[in-house]
């Protein structure tokens, strides 16, 4: 079966069951992300909080997916798992053909370095480093030599139209520019997925639109983008919207349908 | 992360926080400064003693055949002393036998000495002089040069002429205001004609080296030094440092034969070298260096604790940075390397300042108290090594804490 995941019938019964969203998805090949029943429990002083209760998610290469949900729905937990900052309590997570759910610290660090480009709400740039140096950082940890590093960092900054600001420090840049530096940093290692966590959360609406245009261009150019947000108008920029509720996927639909529902 | 990268990062971090970094490395700087200062002073004294003893007192590459040691470390027991006194004397025949047994190129001289009374027409008495009845080669072996006149020669030695070479103090006491050359000085009532004045030697271990009078061994001086009872010393000089052991063995073997010692018996004489003379100093130097290392070590420990604290603060302050780096792919060892490099760079920098200040301090002390000072290259290596070691020791705990941070928690930190 090679059904497009977007065509898989979703549970619409309203029952809170795990949505089988990955039927037929084969890890690797053109499926960049495949999770199978991943759960994540937190031990909060003896009380177990079940943040994720079995999520099956599959994302193809070149998809532009938004993960939505109210606070407490588990979207941050899912984003940490997808970003390999955390490992699931149970279930499998395949990223770009490798099973990362069993990996240890250093292996995960390597995966983050090679396969994932993070874009954070608060930008998370090193304040004392120039834009260029910030963009070079992932390459430092990839062991790239300094000449090659600079060349690739400049290229990445050019992609976000910031080549002329590469010697500026974050505090000399506007919010939108900072986020574009962060995007350049996320792209510099040519990751399998760009993982954005509330990328417009700290930006005004005009700048938010600007950043959304950058994401769209990247998606058009073939970059897989996964964006976590709680704002539906931001999520509506993505081509597929996955909604989480109480630790499970409650809906998974194409933009058209999502926008339709928004309007009604 | 490559080491170069970690060090570059560390230097950048230190530059950003100059004042804080300065206070952080102060402890190490002070520790290393005192270490270097003490070692330099000890080294200076050591150089002084070595050149003074080896060059002036004993001569270079020389060994001296004596009845018993002239230099001892520690106290000599009465029993030991009695044993030494019962040894057979070193005879004049022994001295010439030694000369004939030496390989070509080796130097040889008889140097018999004793404190004697002297007199001259130009003064009413004076202090005792250390009289040497010696063969002329002695001047060459000991690098003794005259500032006025000349030393006596082989011919004067063979004829046993009563000529004398005197030290500057002898001149001051016995020829005040007159040129001694060609004038007479009496030892034991016998006149000696002064033919040369030696260059000033100064003192060694408080012994005046200039209150001396040298006369040919065959001259009547040998009566006053008691050469026929026992020769104070027969000096041999090896042609090169490498030949020293050979020459020593030649002399030792010859004397054992002459004293008819069988293999089980110990030597009943000594062949003393500057090395044996310096062993006393080496012992003292050991204590001084020990103290010179122990006291600064306390400073280094304190310095290390300061660095550890500052690094712990740095890890807390930069938790978010650590989170960012981890999210971008820094492994535990990368974070560890970063903080270890920072602690170590700080500490080595502190040590480098300490080395500079230490040499300054030793120069200051040596000029203020008229002590010799010298640079011991090993002390620089040790200081840098200690600096690095302190940095690593102080950095390990903070760095490992940083490396174990959970990236999710670290990213949320403010």
**Within this chain, do residues B371 and B236 fall inside the same structural domain, yes or no?**
no
Q: What are phi and psi of B227, to 5 degrees?
A: -65, -30
> Sign of the C-alpha dihedral, residues A131, A134, A135, A140?
positive
Determine the residue among B4, B327, B410 to mutate to test chain A binding: the one whose Cβ has the most chain A Cβ atoms within 10 Å. Answer: B327
In sequence order, what are the residues at sequence separation of 6 or more whose Cβ sits closer than 8 angstroms to the Cβ of residue B359? Answer: B36, B37, B40, B375
Look at residue B109 and tell me whether its pLDDT is greater than 90: yes
In B318-375, alpha helices (H): 319-327, 332-369
Contact across the interface for B329 and A113, Cβ inside 8 Å: yes
Residue A219 CB neighbour total at 10 angstroms: 20
- The C-alpha of A109 sits at a distance from chain B's nearest C-alpha, in angstroms, of 4
Residue B70 located in a structural domain = no
Model pLDDT, residue B7: 85
Domain range for residue B180? 88-268
Residue B67 located in a structural domain = no
Residue B62 located in a structural domain = no
Q: What are phi and psi of B366, to 5 degrees?
A: -70, -35
**Cβ neighbourhood burial of B86 (10 Å; 0-12, 13-18, 19+):** exposed
Pairs of CB atoms within 8 A across A/B: 58
In sequence order, what are the residues at sequence separation of 6 or more whose Cβ sits closer than 8 angstroms to the Cβ of residue B233? Answer: B64, B65, B66, B70, B90, B110, B111, B112, B113
Model pLDDT, residue B377: 82
- The C-alpha of A138 sits at a distance from chain B's nearest C-alpha, in angstroms, of 5
**Residue of A205, A214, A164 whose CA lies nearest to A187:** A214
Q: Which of B12, B321, B328 sits opposite A112 (nearest CB)?
A: B328
Structure tokens at B228: 């026929």
Residues in chain A within 8 Å Cβ distance of B333: 106
Does any CB of chain A come closer than 8 Å to the CB of residue B16?
Answer: yes
In sequence order, what are the residues at sequence separation of 6 or more whose Cβ sits closer than 8 angstroms to the Cβ of residue A16? Answer: A245, A246, A248, A250
Q: Which residue of B has its CA nearest to A188?
A: B328
**Within this chain, do residues B198 and B249 fall inside the same structural domain, yes or no?**
yes
- To 10 degrees, what angle do helices A105-115 and B332-369 make? 100
**Within this chain, do residues B339 and B228 fall inside the same structural domain, yes or no?**
no
- The C-alpha of B13 sits at a distance from chain A's nearest C-alpha, in angstroms, of 9
Mean pLDDT in chain B?
A: 87
Contact across the interface for B328 and A138, Cβ inside 8 Å: yes
Look at residue B133 and tell me whether its pLDDT is greater than 60: yes
Look at residue A83 and tell me whether its pLDDT is greater than 90: yes
Structure tokens at B49: 């003693």
Contact across the interface for B327 and A185, Cβ inside 8 Å: no
In sequence order, what are the residues at sequence separation of 6 or more whose Cβ sits closer than 8 angstroms to the Cβ of residue B83? Answer: none
Does any CB of chain A come closer than 8 Å to the CB of residue B200?
Answer: no
Give the sheet arrangement for strand A47-60, strand by strand.
A47-60, A31-44, A90-95, A98-99
Compute CA distances B189 → B88, B117, B224, whole Å. 30, 9, 11
Contact across the interface for B321 and A112, Cβ inside 8 Å: no
E strand or H helix that includes residue B190: strand B190-198
Which one of A7-11, A62-66, B57-61 scores highest in mean pLDDT?
Answer: A62-66
Domain boundary among B234, B268, B302: B268
Model pLDDT, residue B292: 75
Q: Are B219 and B133 in contact (CB under 8 A)?
A: yes
Query: In angstroms, rounded to a whole number, what is the distance separating the alpha carbons of residues A181 and A199?
Result: 12
Contact across the interface for B328 and A113, Cβ inside 8 Å: yes
Q: Which of B5, B16, B327 sits opposite A112 (nearest CB)?
A: B327
Per-position b or e across B96-122, b if 16+ CB within 10 A of its CB: ebbbebbeeebbbbbbbbbeeebbbeb
**Within this chain, do residues B254 and B326 fall inside the same structural domain, yes or no?**
no
Look at residue A7 and tell me whether its pLDDT is greater than 50: no
Looking at per-residue confidence, does B44 or B75 come out higher? B44
**Within this chain, do residues B128 and B233 fall inside the same structural domain, yes or no?**
yes
Contact across the interface for A128 and B12, Cβ inside 8 Å: yes
pLDDT above 70 as % of chain B: 94
Q: Are B267 and B253 in contact (CB under 8 A)?
A: no
For residue A16, what pLDDT band results from cuts at 50, 70 and 90? very low
**Within this chain, do residues B296 and B189 fall inside the same structural domain, yes or no?**
no
Residue B77 located in a structural domain = no
Look at residue A13 and tell me whether its pLDDT is greater than 60: no
Residues in chain B within 8 Å Cβ distance of A106: 331-333
Each residue of B322-362: pLDDT tens digit? 999 999 999 999 999 999 999 999 899 999 999 999 888 88
Query: In angstroms, rounded to a whole number, what is the distance separating the alpha carbons of residues B304 and B298?
Result: 10
**Within this chain, do residues B11 and B142 fall inside the same structural domain, yes or no?**
no
Which one of A1-10, A177-186, B267-276 scores highest in mean pLDDT?
Answer: A177-186
Query: In angstroms, rounded to a whole number, what is the distance separating the alpha carbons of residues A101 and A36?
Result: 10
Contact across the interface for B328 and A114, Cβ inside 8 Å: no
Contact across the interface for A110 and B331, Cβ inside 8 Å: yes
Q: What are phi and psi of A7, to 5 degrees?
A: -90, -10
**Within this chain, do residues B222 and B260 fall inside the same structural domain, yes or no?**
yes
**Residue of A93, A79, A63, A71 whose CA lies nearest to A199:** A79
Query: In angstroms, rounded to a whole number, what is the distance separating the alpha carbons of residues B360 and B380?
Result: 14
Q: Give the total number of structural domains in chain B.
A: 2
Each residue of B355-405: pLDDT tens digit? 999 888 888 888 877 677 777 788 889 889 988 999 999 999 999 999 999
Each residue of A213-249: pLDDT tens digit? 999 999 999 999 999 999 999 999 999 999 999 999 9
Compute CA distances A244 → A36, A52, A215, whole Å. 15, 9, 22
Each residue of B20-58: pLDDT tens digit? 888 888 888 988 898 888 888 887 887 777 776 666 666
For residue A211, what pLDDT band results from cuts at 50, 70 and 90? very high
Compute CA distances A137 → A25, A123, A166, A178, A184, whole Å. 34, 14, 14, 15, 11
Q: Which of B321, B323, B329 sits opposite A141 (nearest CB)?
A: B329
- The C-alpha of B341 sits at a distance from chain A's nearest C-alpha, in angstroms, of 16
pLDDT above 90 as % of chain B: 46
Q: Which residue of B has its CA nearest to A112?
A: B329
**Within this chain, do residues B135 and B222 fall inside the same structural domain, yes or no?**
yes
Residue B58 located in a structural domain = no
Residue B386 located in a structural domain = yes
**Within this chain, do residues B256 and B308 fall inside the same structural domain, yes or no?**
no
Query: In angstroms, rounded to a whole number, what is the distance separating the alpha carbons of residues A8 and A60?
Result: 14
Model pLDDT, residue A239: 94
**Within this chain, do residues B291 and B264 fall inside the same structural domain, yes or no?**
no
- The C-alpha of B388 sits at a distance from chain A's nearest C-alpha, in angstroms, of 25
Domains of chain A (ranges plus CATH)?
62-86+106-263 (3.40.50.300)
pLDDT (mean) for A34-61: 92
Residues in chain A within 8 Å Cβ distance of B328: 112-113, 118, 137-138, 141, 185
Compute CA distances A238 → A176, A201, B242, whole Å. 19, 16, 87
Residue B157 located in a structural domain = yes
Contact across the interface for A141 and B1, Cβ inside 8 Å: yes
**Within this chain, do residues B257 and B294 fall inside the same structural domain, yes or no?**
no
Structure tokens at B355: 């080395």
Q: What does B243-293 look like in DSSP terms, one character per residue?
A: GHHHHHHHHHHHHHHHTT--TTSPPSSEEEEHHHHHHHHHHHHHHHHHHHH
Contact across the interface for A109 and B321, Cβ inside 8 Å: no
pLDDT (mean) for A147-159: 95
Contact across the interface for A124 and B411, Cβ inside 8 Å: yes
Residues in chain A within 8 Å Cβ distance of B12: 128
Contact across the interface for B330 and A110, Cβ inside 8 Å: no
Contact across the interface for B16 and A142, Cβ inside 8 Å: no
Residue B69 located in a structural domain = no
Compute CA distances A187 → A60, A220, B372, whole Å. 18, 14, 65
For strands B163-166 and B212-216, give the pairing.
Answer: antiparallel
Domain boundary among B201, B236, B268: B268
> Sign of the C-alpha dihedral, residues A171, A177, A183, A188?
negative
Compute CA distances A234 → A83, A229, A264, B70, B204, whole Å. 20, 7, 17, 98, 92
Three-state DSSP class for residue B402: helix
Each residue of B203-241: pLDDT tens digit? 766 677 899 999 999 999 999 998 888 998 999 998 887
Which residue, chain included where needed, has tokens 């193809």? A60
Domain boundary among B268, B301, B335: B268
């Amino acid at each position: 079966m090679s059904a497009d995941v977007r065509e898989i019938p979703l549970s619409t019964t309203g029952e809170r069951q795990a949505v089988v969203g990955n039927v037929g998805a084969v890890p690797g090949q053109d499926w960049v992300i495949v999770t199978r029943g991943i759960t994540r429990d937190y031990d909060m002083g003896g009380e177990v909080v079940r943040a994720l209760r079995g999520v099956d998610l599959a994302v193809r290469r070149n998809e532009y997916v938004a993960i939505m949900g109210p606070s407490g729905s588990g979207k941050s937990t899912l984003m940490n798992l997808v970003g390999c900052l955390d490992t699931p309590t149970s279930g499998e997570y395949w990223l770009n053909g490798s099973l990362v759910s069993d990996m240890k610290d250093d292996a995960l660090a390597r995966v983050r370095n090679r396969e994932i480009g993070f874009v954070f709400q608060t930008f998370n740039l090193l304040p004392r480093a120039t834009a260029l140096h910030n963009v070079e950082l992932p390459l430092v940890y990839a062991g790239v030599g300094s000449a090659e590093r600079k060349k690739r960092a400049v290229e990445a900054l050019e992609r976000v139209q910031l080549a002329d600001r590469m010697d500026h420090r974050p505090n000399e840049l506007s919010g939108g520019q900072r986020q574009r530096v962060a995007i350049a940093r996320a792209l510099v290692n040519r990751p399998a997925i760009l993982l954005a966590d509330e990328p417009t959360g700290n930006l005004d609406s005009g700048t938010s639109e600007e950043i959304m245009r950058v994401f769209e261009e990247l998606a058009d150019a073939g970059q897989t983008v996964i964006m976590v947000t709680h704002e539906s108008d931001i999520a509506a920029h993505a081509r597929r919207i996955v909604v989480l509720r109480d630790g499970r996927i409650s809906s998974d639909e194409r933009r058209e349908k999502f926008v339709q529902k928004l309007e009604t | 992360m490559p080491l170069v990268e970690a060090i570059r990062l560390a230097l950048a971090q230190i530059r950003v926080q100059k004042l804080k970094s300065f206070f952080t490395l102060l402890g190490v700087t002070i520790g290393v400064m005192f270490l270097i200062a003490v070692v330099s002073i000890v080294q200076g004294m050591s150089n002084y003693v070595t050149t003074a003893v080896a060059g002036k007192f004993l001569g270079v590459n020389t060994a001296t055949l004596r009845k018993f040691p002239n230099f001892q470390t520690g106290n000599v027991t009465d029993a030991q002393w009695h044993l030494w006194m019962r040894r057979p004397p070193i005879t004049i025949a022994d001295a010439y036998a030694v000369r004939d047994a030496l390989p070509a190129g080796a130097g040889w001289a008889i140097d018999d000495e004793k404190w004697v009374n002297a007199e001259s027409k130009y003064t009413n008495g004076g202090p005792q002089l250390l009289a040497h009845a010696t063969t002329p080669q002695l001047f060459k072996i000991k690098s003794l040069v005259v500032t006025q006149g000349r030393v006596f020669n082989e011919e004067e030695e063979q004829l046993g002429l009563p000529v004398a070479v005197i030290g500057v103090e002898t001149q001051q006491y016995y020829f005040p205001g007159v040129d001694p050359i060609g004038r007479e000085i009496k030892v034991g009532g016998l006149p000696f004609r002064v033919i040369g004045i030696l260059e000033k030697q100064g003192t060694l271990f408080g012994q005046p080296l200039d209150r001396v009078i040298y006369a040919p061994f065959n001259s009547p001086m040998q009566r006053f030094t008691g050469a026929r009872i026992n020769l104070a010393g027969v000096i041999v000089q090896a042609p090169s440092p490498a030949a020293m052991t050979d020459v020593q063995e030649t002399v030792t073997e010859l004397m054992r034969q002459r004293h008819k010692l069988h293999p089980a018996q110990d030597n009943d004489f000594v062949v003393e070298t500057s090395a044996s003379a310096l062993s006393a100093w080496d012992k003292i130097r050991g204590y001084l260096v020990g103290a010179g290392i122990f006291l600064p070590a306390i400073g280094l420990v304190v310095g290390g604790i300061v660095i550890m604290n500052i690094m712990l603060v740095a890890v807390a302050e930069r938790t978010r940075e650590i989170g960012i780096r981890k999210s971008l792919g820094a492994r535990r060892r990368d974070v560890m390397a970063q903080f270890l490099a920072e602690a170590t760079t700080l500490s080595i920098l502190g040590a480098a300042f300490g080395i500079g200040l230490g040499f300054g301090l030793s120069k200051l002390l040596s000029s203020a108290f008229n002590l010799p000072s010298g640079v011991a290259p090993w002390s620089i290596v040790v200081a840098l090594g200690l600096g690095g070691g302190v940095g690593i020791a102080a950095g390990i705990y903070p760095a490992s804490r940083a490396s174990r941070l959970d990236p999710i928690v670290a990213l949320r930190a403010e």
